[in-house]
A = this chain, B = another copy of it.
Amino acid sequence: MTSRRHYIFPTLLLSTILLSPTHAADFCVADLTTQTTSGYTCKNPTNVTADDFVFTALVHSGNTSNTNKASAVPGFVQQFPGLNGLGLAVARADIEPGGAIPLHSHPAATEMIYVAEGSITAGFISGASNVVYVKKLNKGEVMVFPRGLFHFQVNTGKEHAVGIASFSDSEPGVQLVSLAIFGNDFPSFLVEKTTSIDEAEVKKLKALLGGSG
Interface residues of chain A, those whose CB is within 8 Å of chain B, are 3-14, 16-28, 32, 34-42, 45, 49-51, 53-56, 58-60, 62-63, 66-68, 70-76, 78-80, 82-88, 90, 92, 100-103, 105-110, 112, 114, 116, 121, 123-135, 137-150, 152, 154, 164, 166-169, 171-187, 190-191, 193-198, 201, 204-205, 207-210
Tally of this chain's copies: 6
CB distance from A124 to the nearest CB of B (A): 8
Q: Which residues of B sit under 8 angstroms from A85, Cβ to Cβ?
A: 36-38
Q: Which residues of B sit under 8 angstroms from A175, Cβ to Cβ?
A: 105, 125, 127, 148-150
Q: Which residues of B sit under 8 angstroms from A164, Cβ to Cβ?
A: 114, 116, 164
Q: Are B197 and A197 in contact (CB under 8 A)?
A: yes
Q: Are B128 and A10 in contact (CB under 8 A)?
A: no
Q: Which residues of B sit under 8 angstroms from A66, Cβ to Cβ?
A: 8-9, 12-13
A-B contacts besides A9-B67, A55-B142, A59-B139, 13 pairs, CB < 8 Å: A5-B67, A10-B179, A10-B209, A11-B209, A14-B179, A18-B176, A49-B133, A50-B135, A54-B135, A103-B194, A107-B149, A152-B190, A166-B166
Q: Which residues of B sit under 8 angstroms from A109, Cβ to Cβ?
A: 87
Known: A10-B183, A174-B14, A179-B14. A129 touches B37 (CB 8 A): no
Q: Are A70 and B209 in contact (CB under 8 A)?
A: no
Q: Are A173 and B20 in contact (CB under 8 A)?
A: no
